[in-house]
Amino acid sequence: MRTVMFESLIKQDVAFFDGTMTGQLTSRMTNDVAAVVQPVRQIMNTLLVNMLRLVGGLFMCLFTSWKLTILASTMIGPVVYLTGVYAKWSKKLNLSIRVNMADANAVATEALRNIRTVRAFGADEVEVGEFRGHMGQALNDGMKDAYASAGVTAITQYLDFAATILILWYGGVAVLGQAESTLKIGHLITFNLYWNMLNNSITGLNGMLNTLVRAASAAQRVFEIIELEPDIPLSAGTENLGVGQPCAIEFRDLQFAYPMRPDKSVLGGLSFSIGAGQSVAVVGRSGAGKSTLVSLLLRFYDPQLGQVFVNGRPLSEYNLRQYQKRVGVVAQDTQLFCRPILENIAYGLDPEDVTEERILEATRAANAHGFIEDLDEGYRSMIGEGGARLSGGQRQRLAIARALLRRPSLLLLDEATSALDAENEGQVQQALDELVKSVSGNCTVMLIAHRLSTVMGADKIVVLDSGRVVEQGSHHELLENDSIYASLVQRQIAKQANTVSEAPQASHLSKEEPHGHEDDGNHKERKSKGKGKGGGIRRGDGGKDQAPKSDVTDSIDRLFDELRPS
């Protein structure tokens, strides 16, 4: 059952995971499944035995004295009613217990996954408090259930006692010949024995009911997941992308809001296209919707209106599993697995697509081969959960090798160096250069960029604001117009010039301030002019061509703020 549940979970829409926590899901897969499976084993034994005893006892009671049977059965009605009411109430309570246990599990999982942050912020007591809150609620509900169960059991036993008194009273009267019908003393004794047998089977079934009620609440949560069908099926479409062939992309009139925030429009009629083999840089203020475009291209979500076209066909017509194998992604925050490096690089590929030669080619191009070889077990080294035993830059370089090994038709680079320090950024940027260079012409590239040098290296630049394209064109076209992009570049150049002249006094400036080099913007512009189509990303090489961590996104933010009508 766990396998079925995991199979169902893993193919759910990304939107589903936006609304749940990992710990809640693992709790469903472990605690809830166990609560369903264990009673099933018990039930097979006890249910059968008790049912046989119930039917046999009832038959023998009726056979011995139908009048006594009817009289004694008057006590069974209240017992069944009471048990039914309790079962309904207890099911709700047990559901709440399961939800609280899952929430506690979610808190623990998240805290342990982010243990460095918890420690760094001294927040261990906060996490324990939160965990205790959920567990305390579950315990309270469990106590309520235990008291109610004890109450119901006591009342049931009183009613059972009352039935015995009724049997002895009426049976005694009948034996003494004072009732309409008479009864032999031997029949009264055997009736009592049969009634006890029947009664014991009812008590046995009653005990099972408690377990069943708990199992029912767990089963509800398990089947909710198993029966859930994703809106975006993984293998429904028939179109495929050719290996190593670049694809053309078109975003047409996209309107999109995230399912978890349906009222907040993220894209409002966005349109632009990327030719096959072109590299396009998407820039825009923070929150403009740049990463959302990557998610839509990976079909994590479908837009509410408009369509994404790949090679002129709607993305929905593609077999998603095959399509995603042809897309390489290097995200802001690389996700790696607690498996050997080799498996991480070849992740998701068929074994026949992975040869030693190709892996070495990919890791060398990604500037990762050296550090992998330095590890104790080289390519077989385990890297810890989420790649915890590697630096941020090493993780990114593995991500680049992983993307490269796929021979992608479409490469998506989502601010791949934004989370790195200057030294790591330089190395990763170099690896990205290699990546884009090596795929140039064979692969379409959409990059979300924060470095001016990266933006300038692209064939086309698309500027987004509030989920719309506000301008697009090549670096030169945009510079020639009175564009936002041109203002941005001028601002960068001016800023860097200022910084250079102030450099001796500026060493104390904060990290955000561009602590630049000589005329960096002009320098890049000249280099850019000499660069052909699909030339890829420019890199910082030891500082000369390295743009200070000139955050284009940040500058664009300020620019948009200035342009905004007051």
Ligand X SMILES: Nc1ncnc2c1ncn2[C@@H]1O[C@H](COP(=O)(O)OP(=O)(O)OP(=O)(O)O)[C@@H](O)[C@H]1O
* Chain residues 249-278 in contact with ligand X, contact rule CB under 6 A: 258, 260-261, 266
The helices-and-strands tally (H runs, E runs) of the chain is 21, 10
Q: Are the C-beta atoms of 405 and 349 separated by less than 8 Å?
A: yes
Of 18, 125, 385, 421, which one interacts with ligand X (CB under 6 A)? 18
Query: Minimum distance between the CB of residue 289 and ligand X, rounded to whole angstroms?
Result: 4
* Maximum Cα interatomic distance, the chain, rounded to a whole number of Å: 122
- The residue (of 213 and 297) whose beta carbon lies closer to ligand X is 297
31-to-23, 196, 233, 488, 529 alpha-carbon distances in Å: 11, 37, 28, 55, 62
Please answer whether residues 410 and 327 qualify as being in contact, where contact means their C-beta atoms are separated by less than 8 angstroms. yes
Q: Is 269 helix (H, G, I), strand (E, B) or coil?
A: strand
Counting contacts by CB under 6 A, is residue 219 touching ligand X?
Answer: no
Please identify which residue in 192, 201, 292, 499 interacts with ligand X, judged by CB under 6 A.
Answer: 292
Residues binding ligand X: number (CB under 6 A):
14
Based on CB atoms, which residue is closest to ligand X, 86 or 485? 485
Dihedral (Cα; 345, 347, 349, 355), 10-degree rounding: 30
Query: How many angstroms from the chain centroid is the CA of residue 324?
Result: 17
**290 is an interface residue for ligand X by CB under 6 A:** yes
Minimum CB distance to ligand X smaller for 325 or for 451: 451
44 vs 260, which CB is nearer to ligand X?
260
Stretch near ligand X under the rule CB under 6 A, chosen from 140-148, 170-178, 224-232, 286-294: 286-294
Q: C-beta of 208: minimal distance to ligand X in Å?
A: 44
Binds ligand X (CB under 6 A): choice among 12, 20, 291, 307 = 291
**By CB under 6 A, residue 284 contacts ligand X:** yes
In angstroms, what is the minimal distance from the CB of 415 to ligand X?
A: 6
- Nearer Cβ to ligand X (103/551): 551
User: Interaction with ligand X in 161-180: which residues (CB under 6 A)?
Assistant: none
Minimum distance from residue 450 beta carbon to ligand X (Å): 8
In the complex, least distance from residue 338 CB atom to ligand X, rounded to whole angstroms: 25
**Beta-bridge partners for 255:** 268, 305
- 88 lines the binding site for ligand X (CB under 6 A): no
Taking the C-alpha atoms of residue 20 and residue 145, their distance in angstroms, rounded to an integer, is 27
Q: Round to whole Å and give the CA distance between 528 and 475.
A: 9
Q: Is the dihedral of CA 248, 253, 259, 260 positive or negative?
A: positive
Q: What is the CA radius of gyration of the chain?
A: 35
One character per residue 432-461, x = contact with ligand X (rule: CB under 6 A):
------------------------------
**Hey, what are 525's tokens?**
């512009």
Residue pair 438/365 in contact (Cβ under 8 Å)? The answer is yes
Question: At which residue do the structure tokens 């809640």 appear?
Answer: 24
Q: Which stretch binds ligand X (CB under 6 A): 145-153, 172-180, 282-290, 343-351?
A: 282-290
- Residue 266 Cβ, how far from ligand X at the closest point, in Å? 4
Give the nearer residue to ligand X in terms of CB position, either 10 or 260.
260
Give 109-113's long-range contacts (Cβ < 8 A, gap of 24+): 109/21, 109/22, 109/23, 109/26, 110/21, 110/22, 110/23, 113/22, 113/385, 113/386
Site map for ligand X, 528-557, x if CB under 6 A? -------------------------x----
Rank residues 90 and 292 by Cβ distance to ligand X and give the closer one: 292
Q: Which residues pair with 506 in a beta bridge?
A: none
Q: What is the nearest approach in angstroms of ligand X to the Cβ of residue 18? A: 5
Q: Which stretch in 57-65, 86-94, 289-297, 338-346 sits in contact with ligand X by CB under 6 A?
A: 289-297
Least distance in Å: CB of 287 to ligand X? 4
Nearer to ligand X, 188 or 266 (CB): 266
Q: How far is the CB of 148 from ligand X (least distance, A)?
A: 41
CB 225 within 8 A of CB 9: yes
By the rule CB under 6 A, 288 interacts with ligand X = yes
Side by side, which strands form the sheet with 267-274? 267-274, 249-256, 305-310, 313-314
In angstroms, rounded to a whole number, what is the distance separating the alpha carbons of residues 44 and 39? 9
Residue 289 lies near ligand X (rule: CB under 6 A)? yes
In the structure encoding, which two tokens stand for residue 237, read together?
């479409």
Cα separation, 66 vs 208, in Å, equals 28
**Range 473-502, binding ligand X (CB under 6 A):** none
Give me the least distance between CB of 520 and ligand X, in Å please. 22
Per CB under 6 A, which region of 172-180, 200-208, 285-293, 543-551 contacts ligand X?
285-293
> How far apart, in whole angstroms, are the C-alpha atoms of residue 416 and residue 438?
17
From 288-296, 364-372, 528-536, 542-550, give the range in contact with ligand X by CB under 6 A.
288-296
Residues 444/276, Cβ–Cβ less than 8 Å? yes
Least distance from ligand X to the Cβ atom of residue 521, Å: 21
In angstroms, the CA 537 to CA 541 distance is 12
Q: For the chain, what's the residue count?
A: 566
CB of 281 to ligand X, least distance (A): 13
Residue 442 has, within 13 A of its CA and on its CB side, a CA count of: 14
Q: Which of 182, 238, 286, 335 binds ligand X (CB under 6 A)?
A: 286
List contacts with ligand X (CB under 6 A). Answer: 18, 258, 260-261, 266, 284, 286-292, 553
